[in-house]
Structure 1
Amino acid sequence: MPDTRAVEHEITVAAPADRIYRLVADVENWPHVFGPTVHVEYVERDERSERIRLWATANGTAKTWTSRRELDPDGLRVDFRQEVSQPPVGGMGGAWVIEPLSAGESRVRLLHDYHAATGDPADLAWIEQAVDRNSRAELGALKEHAEGDAATPDLLFSFDDAVDIDGKAQDVYDFINEAQLWQERLPHVARVSLEEETPGLQILEMDTRTKDGSTHTTKSVRVCQPYEKIVYKQIQVPALMTLHTGHWSFTERPGGGVRATSRHTVRINEANIGKVLGSDAGLDDARTYVRNALSTNSLATLGHAKSYAEGR
């Protein structure tokens, strides 16, 4: 019999229970709420049950697994069980339980049970550390979003940049996927490091040059789905953001060629606006600055991808 452990974490949140439940139930929005979550997709779903595939970080590494979730909106509870775990995890399940304390305050309990894929005590210790770290991070983020998001909705925004390319989607995808070559292919990339222990699941770190000649370092987890989409989440962001997720998508056009689109979703770090842009700057200035900077790099990358694909 495997050595199964059970743990519980909890937090008190100054928000109505139904608001907290909606954040837990809306799994597609998890990359914008929970730091460890990179990307989520539904495999199947109905009103009370769903199978999801989830990509996330654990102890600094990128993992993916498939889970089944049972939703109970009346009982304010979501149960989950991994169907396909990734080593060193042999199996894991648990539940989110929201308990109203008053009209505007709730207790959230996050339950886990798990066992390792092997009998190695080091594997069980690794899982214990990952569960503890991610549970504390997720409960803290849940509290922050449930209590604060309604007051500052303009901090989060999304935008797209697109380029039409007379080439094949596979070639455009390959250019974006082969980020280890970006230092040679893209003038604004000063340094790049790419790890891909699991095929299609990458950790990308790079130094990007800005207009004034300085560089900033970003680190992202990327989920690569040939030849349609590459989804990413930055786990090391510049000072002006608290969140940056996005995707590159590649859509065949009816008349031939492909439309390549870069989507960004950003949450502004309001506390750093003055430090980065000056004391007179406000939220609108920060949004404009971030959009211009990200669009400039995205369109430059897409422009080089266009030349590469059309040259093939």
Structure 2
Amino acid sequence: MSGERVHRASYEIDVTAPAGVVYGLIADTTQWPLIAASSIHVERLDFDGVVDRFRMWFTANGSVRSALSHRTLDAAGTRIEFLQELPAAPAVTMAGTWTVEARGAGRSRLRLEHEFTVAADRPGDVAWLLLATDTNSRAELEQLKENAERWREIDGLLLGFEDSVRVHGPAELVYDFLYGVADWPGRVPHVVRAEVREDVPGVQRVRMITRAGGDVPPQATESVRICFPHASRIVHKQTRTPPLIEAHTGEWSVLPDETGVTVISQHSVLLRAADVERVLGPGADVPRARAHLREKLGRESVAVLELAKRHAESAIRSL
């Protein structure tokens, strides 16, 4: 740690689940956007089974921040140490530990500890970090507890799939269409309204109203989109989800080759089981909800993919 004062915070929660289950949820950073509301996206840079190095985008006090981090995993001791190599401002340093302690058959205690410093120990920055750490840590522990305690069912609540189209046109035009979400109303059939803020280049905050179909009223969602123009990728996470969906992440990727472009839409969803019968009717079950969301989200994604294809190919024909 540097010469500034070290601030510490510690949180813990009891979980009715085996320590190994709880540890497994914490250990897989790639799943964090689905199980922690504050986590937007994780780009894993290196992983050898013990050291996990990654960049994470997350929300903190209403803003989107990112940090380059590494974690050291101790599976036998059910303990993970973490250190932010490039912390998110205003932190100068940020580190801590996750510890899972077995408390008897099927029970455990999860502890999260942080320590950080701020340049010149500025009171406003310290207060901001303490609030962000407290808010995110308490929420993460509650969400980890909830997901760990339904560990026997959670695999059935996770849904992942992708759709793709081939485009005979420039990858740049396909990406421009996907990036220009503010222009989707009037072009994409299910999008009624889209409000976009991009306070930081490449980080879009999107409020969207979409048609749900049938007698269902239009639905409001909010998302964060992280744009990688040089890689022709856009990753996204809904921070306000519609019914049936507890968490929803995804990615648009544009892959050029010698003969054209493949455009892929990927989705990962954590179902909200409590909504199934309320939304789909009495007797509806999780498999039906999975099929419903696969069809709905896939249909909407393919509509966007086809319009991106038309946008790129029309430009070529007009030339």
Q: TM-score, normalised by structure 1?
A: 0.93
Relative to 1, partners in 2 of residues 1:198 and 1:280: Cα closer, same or farther, differing over 3 Å?
Answer: same
Q: How many Å apart are 1:121 and its aligned residue?
A: 2.0
How far the C-alpha of 1:65 sits from its partner, in A, is 0.8
1:311 is aligned to 2:307: no
CA distance in 2, matches of 1:311, 1:301: 15
Residues 70-117 of structure 1 deviation map (CA, whole Å, 9 limit, x = unaligned): 222222211111111222223211110111122321111100012234
Q: Deviations over 1:179-215 (max 9, x none)?
A: 1222243232111111222222221111112323731
Q: What is the rounded CA distance, in whole Å, between the counterparts of 2:237 and 2:60 in structure 1?
A: 14
Which aligned pairs between 1:38-187 and structure 2 lie closer than 5 A? 38-117=40-119, 119-187=121-189
Alignment deviations for residues 250-303 of structure 1 (CA, whole Å, 9 cap, x no partner):
11234x111111111122222112221222322233222222221221111111
- 1:230 is aligned to 2:229: no
Q: Once the 2 structures are TM-superposed, how far is the Cα of residue 37 of structure 1 from its aligned partner?
A: 1.1
Check conservation: 2:98, 2:110, Cα contact below 8 A: yes
Maintained 8 Å contact 2:203/2:226: yes
CA deviation map 1:211-230 (0-9, x unaligned): 23731111111121224321
3-state SS, counterpart of residue 103 of structure 2: strand
Residue 134 to residue 172, structure 1, CA distance change in 2 (3 Å):
same
1:119 CA drift (Å): 4.6
Gaps of 5+ in 2: none
Structure 2 Cα separation of the partners of residues 276 and 146 of structure 1: 25
Query: C-alpha root-mean-square deviation of aligned residues, in Å?
Result: 1.8
User: C-alpha separation between the residues in 2 aligned to 1:101 and 1:61?
Assistant: 37
Query: In 2, are the aligned partners of 1:158 and 1:263 still within 8 Å (CA)?
Result: yes
1:107 is paired with a residue whose SS is strand
Q: TM-score, normalised by structure 2?
A: 0.91
1:291 is matched with which residue: 289, 294, 301?
Answer: 294
Asked if 1 retains the 8 angstrom alpha-carbon contact of 2:223 and 2:236, the reply is yes
2:305 counterpart residue number = 302
**Structure 1: stretches of 5+ with no match in the other structure:** none
Distance, in Å, in 2 between the alignment partners of 1:253 and 1:126 is 47
Contact preservation (8 Å) 2:223, 2:237: yes
Q: The residue matched to 1:12 in structure 2 has which SS?
A: strand
SS of equivalent to 1:183: coil
Corresponding residue of 1:26 = 28
Q: Map of 1:211-230 to 2, 5 A cutoff?
A: 211-212=213-214, 214-226=217-229, 227-230=231-234
**Of 284-293 and 297-306, the range deviating more from structure 2:** 284-293
2:278 matches 1:250: no
Shift of 1:2: 2.7
| 8 A Cα contact 1:180 1:194, kept in partner | yes
- Superposed structure 1 runs of 4+ greater than 6 Å apart: none
> Is residue 87–residue 117 contact of structure 1 (8 Å, CA) maintained in 2?
no
Task: For 2:15, give the aligned amino acid.
Answer: V
Among 273, 276, 279, the alignment partner of 2:276 is 273
Query: What's the CA shift for 1:8?
Result: 0.1
Aligned counterpart for 2:243 among listed residues 209, 219, 239: 239
From 34, 37, 40, the equivalent of 1:35 is: 37
Q: In 2, distance between residues paired with 1:223 and 1:258?
A: 21
Cα pair 1:91 1:117 within 8 Å, conserved = no
**Aligned counterparts of 1:200 and 1:149: Cα–Cα separation in 2:** 36
Cα distance 1:117–1:215, how it changes in 2: closer, same or farther (>3 A)?
A: farther
- Give the SS at the match of 2:184: helix
1:208 aligned to which of 197, 207, 210: 210
Q: Indicate the percent of aligned positions where both proteins have the same amino acid.
A: 40
Task: Tell which deviates more after alignment, 238-247 or 204-213.
Answer: 204-213
C-alpha distance after superposition, 1:164-185 (max 9, x if no partner): 1111222111111121222243
Please state if 1:260 is matched with 2:260. no
Question: Aligned to 1:66, what secondary structure does the other structure show?
Answer: strand
Count how many residue pairs are aligned between Structure 1 and Structure 2. 311
Deviation at 1:118, TM superposition (A): 5.9
Task: Specify the SS of the correspondent of 2:304.
Answer: helix
Which whole-Å deviations, capped at 9, do the CAs of 1:232-257 have from their partners, x for residues lacking one? Answer: 11110011111111111111234x11
Offset, 1:152: 4.3
